[in-house]
Structure 1
Amino acid sequence: MNTTFPLHISTSLLLSLAIGSSLLAQGKAPPPAPVRTATVEQKEIATRKPFVGTVRPTQQAILGSAVDGRVIEFNYEEGDRVENGAAIAQLLTHTINLQWEAAKAELNVRKAELEEMENGTRPEEIEQMKARMLAAEARMRYLELRRKRAEDLYANQKVTSAEVRDEAVSAADAAKQAFLEAKAAYDLSVAGPRAEQIAQAKARVAMQQAIADELEDRIKKYTIRTRFDGYIVKKSTEVGAWASSGGPIAEVAHLDSVDVVANVPEQDIPYVQLGEEVTVEVFAYKGHPFSGKVFSINPSADVRARTFPVKIRIKNELVDGKPMLKSGMMGNVLLQAGQQKVAKLVPKDAIVLGGPAPMLYTVAKSADGLTAKPVTVQLGEADGGLIEVLGEIQPGDQVVTRGNERLRPGQPISIIPTTENQTAGS
């Protein structure tokens, strides 16, 4: 599966071929071919299958208007990033602002009335009421004496007439009522407002406060805000347009992390586990795998396809401030689709393709040294940079991983020491 190898190996091979050709011409055997090898491993692996998945935002919402109004501002364009709480659009609020100001002024009046009642009557007012009461009492006594004198004169048939007597009696009665009224007013000023009146004033303040709060809350609804970080993926209105209550304004998608949704058939779903590490290969980014975890397994299948939606949560990557993974992209999701099994694994570079069947070269020992032994294999599950092989090889065998493309069966080989490998790779 490897079609290129390090420069020092290529140079060695070319040199070996050149020397070999020269030696063959002279009737001598060519030198061993330099190769790099790896050991056949045996371990448990899981059977995995690729499932086509679609990238979806972890959060997506259509922002609507809760009130009717004219759009006077739209602060973002499609593709722009927005932060939680950002004002996306603004509706005209002139009329409702006037109503709110009037409601606040009325609230201040109600509060002042309540404060006046809670403070009670001022001392100066009490003194004024007391003076009026005393003046009314003095007038009442004077007119009471005048009535008695008029009644005595009338009873003794003096000069006073019945008309004068009746007038004196009426004046005295009126003065008494005026005194009682002044005394009641004085007593009320001393006692202050009743508890019921204060309670009514408090209720009027609370009612007006609710009206002002309701208007303030409505004003907030004239500003359309996002409730999470994300990107504007759709504009549904423009400045100057009329926004209706419940109508769409914009659509926001959270792409800092994304879900790749794959539909897994019912026969494979028992092997998929929550939290399982998953590799996702998005078609738009060849050779750039993304790592994620199984975030959720929907327990309700599509009754027609008999597949279960599985979400793989992936942390997105940014390029020039923009998310690499975008909503709607497609890719392959490698999910476990079978039980664990013991397998023989070799590096993928050990596989030689192009013949009737995949093959590899193992290192065989002979009296003359090391030679390349071809082994036909069947390929199984991939496990990172390794791949399962089925054939006549055993754990611990050495397989050629570099220089195998030009080998011939039985050709002498020499293994490049590890130190030389590391030096060449550094």
Structure 2
Amino acid sequence: MRIATGLAATAAVLIFSSQTARAQRGPAAVSVAEIIQKEVASGQTFVGTVHPIKRSVIGSAVGGRVAEFPVNEGDYVKQDQPLAQLLTNTINLELTAEEAELDLRRYELNELKNGSRPDEIKRAKALMLAAKAESEYQTKRRKRLESLYARKAVNDDDIQQVVSESIRADEMYQEALAAYNLTVEGPRQEKIDQATARKDMQKALVDTLASKVVKHTIKSPFNGYVVAEHTEVGQWVNSGELVAEVIALDQVDVTVQVLENHIPHVRLDMEVRVEVPAIPDQVFTGKVALIVPQADVRARTFPVKVRIKNTITDDGPLLKSGMLARAVLPTGAKQSALLVSKDALVLGGPSPMIYVVDHGEGDQKQGKARAVPVRVGVSEGRLIQVMGDLEPGQQVVIRGNERLLPGQDVVVKEILPPDAEPQAKAINTNG
């Protein structure tokens, strides 16, 4: 009774204060929709807290001195954006040297894989042919002298010298022939495999040093906001020591504790209306994202998380972590209720209200806007339950109600379905 009296008093004040202003304004063009009556589950309000969907307390993977710390609490950071940089001068020098060694190993391997150059084959062939010619000459000379030796035309020393030179020339030819064949065939596969193994070992060493360099740069794991700093430039951090804390707020979870006798009525993906007292001029709608099946044994309550898409502006997220919130969950049997479009609600005053269009006799295009204070209940899609001095079938303003004054003349430009989609608004989501 006291609530109804207070709402009526509020409406009276609004009407009185707007009498002068509405006399100076012409009819306002508005879009309307009807109030409908429907069976909906009875709701109950649960107090909860806004939480980020992701929170990461980021530590350093290695020890080192902080050379750069470019972020501050409250800064928006993108995924993989550096949060802190440790000194890496010594590692960078080692990495440069090992990368040069790796290049050398690669060049050696490529040289083996490419085999002999055409000029090298030509040179080996020329040496082989020269050795062959010398061997053939010495062989013919030996046969001639052996014939003379048989006739006692030469002595033993001469024939021994010729035989020795013939054998030497033949061996030189065999050596040149083998060298030519090796040049044509190229390196052995075993040599290539050894060079490949040396290159792989060197690459692993380079990768190890590069990994150390990467670990000296602490990065953000996702898009979000820095909410805590745990170090500063010049400070030494050990492996595993905390550097910063980042939370993601593109979506938020409102966590409420639901009594065990109400939890059977809560379902996943159920649409839920959420109010945030710090933002009284907006009503948020989310869905049940998680029902934790473990109760607090002392209170016999189950945690329920309602996920809401957040609005990100240049000034930061609209919903911030830790805000107080109230979620209205359908937790009882169905009952008859009056539903209106969510766009009909005018928020920001002492209580929510809607504008009902009172038409003159026989005129459905013109009328007066009457402010009706309401209490809101459960939501269902684009509709929301309202309680107040209302009746089914009445027309309420859902577009053009932002600047209306109680008692102002209106012109109905269109009648929309109760669940009509809202007009698109440009929202900055880049953080």
TM-score tier by shorter-chain length is: 0.5 to 0.7
Per the alignment, do residues 100 and 5 of structure 1 end up closer, same or farther by CA in structure 2, a change over 3 Å counting? Answer: same
Residue 176 of structure 1 pairs with residue 170 of structure 2: yes
Residue 82 of structure 1 pairs with residue 83 of structure 2: no
Describe how 1:264-279 pairs up with structure 2 within 5 A: 264-279=258-273
What secondary structure is seen at the aligned counterpart in 2 of 1:5? helix
Give 1:334 deviation, angstroms.
Answer: 1.7
Retained in 1: the 8 A contact 2:255–2:306?
yes
Q: Which of 114, 135, 139 is the matching residue for 2:109? A: 114
Residue 321 of structure 1 pairs with residue 315 of structure 2: yes
Structure 2: distance between partners of 1:191 and 1:41: 92
Give 1:74 deviation, angstroms.
Answer: 0.9
Per the alignment, do residues 188 and 382 of structure 1 end up closer, same or farther by CA in structure 2, a change over 3 Å counting? Answer: closer
Retained in 1: the 8 A contact 2:271–2:288?
yes
Give 1:258 deviation, angstroms.
Answer: 1.0
What secondary structure is seen at the aligned counterpart in 1 of 2:43? strand
What secondary structure is seen at the aligned counterpart in 1 of 2:244? strand
Q: Which of 27, 30, 50 is the matching residue for 2:45? A: 50
Structure 1: distance between partners of 2:193 and 2:337: 85
Q: Which runs of 5 or more residues in structure 2 are unaligned? A: 18-34, 340-374, 379-384, 393-404, 412-431
Give 1:97 deviation, angstroms.
Answer: 2.1
* Range 133-142 or range 119-128, more displaced: 133-142
Residue 5 of structure 1 pairs with residue 11 of structure 2: yes
Retained in 2: the 8 A contact 1:49–1:336?
yes
TM-score, with length taken from structure 1: 0.66
Residue 294 of structure 1 pairs with residue 288 of structure 2: yes
Partner residue in 1 for 2:352: none
Residue 337 of structure 1 pairs with residue 331 of structure 2: yes
Give 1:296 deviation, angstroms.
Answer: 1.7
* Range 172-181 or range 77-86, more displaced: 172-181
Give 1:103 deviation, angstroms.
Answer: 3.0
What is the one-letter code of the residue matched to 1:423?
A: Q
TM-score, with length taken from structure 2: 0.65
Q: Which runs of 5 or more residues in structure 1 are unaligned? A: 12-39, 346-379, 389-394, 397-419
Retained in 2: the 8 A contact 1:45–1:343?
yes
Give 1:214 deviation, angstroms.
Answer: 4.2
Per the alignment, do residues 234 and 5 of structure 1 end up closer, same or farther by CA in structure 2, a change over 3 Å counting? Answer: closer
Describe how 1:346-425 pairs up with structure 2 within 5 A: 382=377, 384-386=385-387, 422-423=407-408
Partner residue in 2 for 1:72: 67
Per the alignment, do residues 43 and 154 of structure 1 end up closer, same or farther by CA in structure 2, a change over 3 Å counting? Answer: closer
CA offsets 1:166-188 (integer angstroms, 9 cap, x no match)? 66554443333222111100122
Bigger CA radius of gyration: 1
Retained in 2: the 8 A contact 1:126–1:189?
yes
CA offsets 1:80-108 (integer angstroms, 9 cap, x no match)? 11122212111222222223323332333
Give 1:56 deviation, angstroms.
Answer: 0.7
Retained in 2: the 8 A contact 1:47–1:381?
no
Retained in 2: the 8 A contact 1:8–1:424?
no
Structure 1: distance between partners of 2:101 and 2:166: 47
Partner residue in 2 for 1:365: none
Partner residue in 2 for 1:98: 93
CA offsets 1:281-324 (integer angstroms, 9 cap, x no match)? 33444565433222221223334433221111123345761224
Q: Which of 244, 253, 269 is the matching residue for 2:247? A: 253
Structure 2: distance between partners of 1:343 and 1:189: 96
Retained in 2: the 8 A contact 1:48–1:381?
no
Structure 2: distance between partners of 1:344 and 1:133: 107
Retained in 2: the 8 A contact 1:381–1:387?
no
Per the alignment, do residues 135 and 327 of structure 1 end up closer, same or farther by CA in structure 2, a change over 3 Å counting? Answer: same
Structure 1: distance between partners of 2:160 and 2:133: 21
What secondary structure is seen at the aligned counterpart in 1 of 2:10? coil
What secondary structure is seen at the aligned counterpart in 2 of 1:4? helix
Structure 2: distance between partners of 1:298 and 1:52: 17
What secondary structure is seen at the aligned counterpart in 1 of 2:213? helix
What is the one-letter code of the residue matched to 2:268?
A: L
Aligned residues: 336
Retained in 1: the 8 A contact 2:43–2:330?
yes
Partner residue in 1 for 2:223: 229
CA offsets 1:120-144 (integer angstroms, 9 cap, x no match)? 3223222222232233334444555
Retained in 1: the 8 A contact 2:228–2:245?
yes
Partner residue in 1 for 2:129: 134
Retained in 2: the 8 A contact 1:153–1:160?
no
Identity fraction in percent = 46
What secondary structure is seen at the aligned counterpart in 2 of 1:183? helix
Structure 2: distance between partners of 1:269 and 1:42: 26
Partner residue in 2 for 1:185: 179
Per the alignment, do residues 332 and 157 of structure 1 end up closer, same or farther by CA in structure 2, a change over 3 Å counting? Answer: same
Per the alignment, do residues 344 and 314 of structure 1 end up closer, same or farther by CA in structure 2, a change over 3 Å counting? Answer: closer
Retained in 2: the 8 A contact 1:137–1:179?
yes
Two-structure CA RMSD over aligned residues (Å)? 3.9
CA offsets 1:40-60 (integer angstroms, 9 cap, x no match)? 997534222222212110111
Retained in 2: the 8 A contact 1:154–1:165?
yes
Q: Which of 233, 243, 248 is the matching residue for 1:239? A: 233
What secondary structure is seen at the aligned counterpart in 2 of 1:97? helix
Per the alignment, do residues 127 and 281 of structure 1 end up closer, same or farther by CA in structure 2, a change over 3 Å counting? Answer: closer
What is the one-letter code of the residue matched to 1:57?
A: P
Partner residue in 1 for 2:55: 60
What secondary structure is seen at the aligned counterpart in 1 of 2:408? helix
* Range 175-184 or range 322-331, more displaced: 322-331
